[in-house]
């Protein structure tokens, strides 16, 4: 997908700003484009600018201009939110049609709209008034991250098998020991490897150094010995697919699921991202402080990292066991 050919000039300028000035990844910029295109399509239907019978995917937004976005009202945005929560198809690729996006999905789409209007008013200065300045985002229910226990993590590592075992073992080892994002692992190059560390490119093209423990360094070295024997297409990529090109996110997701099943673990409950959660949780449980973990995980804000402090809080366990009713039993002997 290339937004440059599909987006109207006013949207194209906004997306280019995020890609070139803010340094956001192509995936992030594409998501902004898709979210705003959905919003503009809804407005064209809502305002009667296209037939009511028009399919949303057939509605062009190439004619959206400054006057169009200037006339947006807070009421229209709330009507759009109502559409997202009730009538929007949840998964376009699913065989079973379900309606209504989650609060997290709606919050992301609202964030795109707010960012767009902030750009128009503050950066480009094309608008004086921001119609969505006071718009509240949907409240997202708080949930604790799922993670593997230490025993389950070891079971997963022991279960890894197949013709790409050395590669897959190194990838899962990096997940569980270093807590990298899947995009960061896929994006690793041979030139990023040091004797005891990796150079990692995170969100917003921000680089950080992640140090390797002995087990992870050994896993990478074992894979490199195999990689040297391969006739590679992509000479720079660290992890290669069966076609000798850079391994894809989808391939890594699929590989993790297969090995979770081999380990007898619930592949629907866990995923590659849950392995990152596992690394964070295990390190916190074993004495790593939250600010060090923030830097290691590449989190911009400490609040993002602090969710892991609620997963296994030793102080809360101590408080529960200190309650005088903690050893009570109904037989009257306590």
Residues annotated as catalytic are: 181, 203, 273, 276, 299, 308
φ/ψ (deg, to 5) at 232: -85, 145
Which of 15, 16, 11, 110 minimizes the C-alpha distance to 60?
Answer: 11
List the one residue out of 136, 128, 210, 222 whose CA is nearest residue 177.
Answer: 210
Q: How far is CA 266 from CA 69, 157, 231, 253, 273, in A?
A: 46, 15, 36, 14, 14
Q: Which residues of 122-156 are buried (b: 16+ CB within 10 A; e: fewer)?
A: eeeeebeeebbeeeeebeeeeeeeebbeeebbebb
Q: CA 167 to CA 230: how far, in whole Å? A: 12
Which run of H or E residues covers position 207?
strand 207-211
Number of C-alpha atoms within 13 angstroms, CB side, residue 322? Answer: 6
Going 263 to 173 to 26 to 237, the CA torsion angle's sign is: negative
d(CA 146, CA 134): 34
């Amino acid at each position: 997908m290339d937004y440059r050919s599909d987006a109207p000039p006013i949207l194209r300028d906004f997306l280019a700003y995020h890609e070139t000035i803010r340094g956001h990844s192509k995936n992030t910029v594409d998501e902004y484009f898709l979210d705003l295109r959905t919003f503009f399509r809804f407005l064209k239907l809502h305002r009667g600018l296209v037939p009511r019978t028009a399919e949303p995917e057939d509605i062009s937004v190439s004619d959206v201009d400054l006057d169009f976005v200037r006339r947006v009202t807070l009421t229209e945005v709330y009507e759009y939110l109502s559409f997202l929560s009730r009538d929007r198809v949840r998964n376009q690729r699913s065989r079973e049609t379900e309606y209504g996006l989650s609060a997290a999905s709606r919050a992301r789409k609202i964030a795109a709209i707010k960012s767009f209007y902030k750009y128009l008013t503050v950066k480009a200065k094309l608008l004086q008034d921001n119609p969505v300045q006071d718009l509240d985002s949907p409240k997202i229910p708080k949930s604790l991250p799922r993670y593997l226990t230490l025993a389950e993590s070891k079971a997963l590592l022991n279960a890894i098998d197949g013709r790409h075992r050395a590669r897959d073992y190194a990838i899962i080892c990096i997940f569980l020991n270093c807590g990298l994002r899947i995009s960061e692992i896929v994006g690793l190059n041979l030139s990023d490897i040091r004797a005891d560390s990796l150079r990692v490119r995170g969100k917003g093209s921000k680089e950080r150094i992640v140090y390797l423990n002995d087990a992870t360094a050994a896993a990478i070295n074992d894979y490199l010995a195999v990689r040297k024997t391969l006739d590679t297409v992509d000479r720079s990529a660290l992890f290669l697919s069966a076609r000798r090109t850079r391994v894809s996110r989808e391939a890594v997701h699929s590989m993790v699921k297969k090995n979770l099943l081999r380990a007898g673990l619930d592949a629907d409950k866990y995923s590659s991202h849950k392995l990152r959660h596992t690394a964070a949780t295990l390190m916190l449980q074993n004495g790593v402080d939250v600010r060090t973990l923030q830097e290691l995980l590449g989190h911009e804000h400490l609040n993002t990292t602090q969710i892991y402090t609620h997963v296994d809080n030793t102080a809360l366990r101590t408080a529960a066991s200190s309650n005088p009713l903690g050893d009570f039993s109904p037989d009257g002997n306590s």
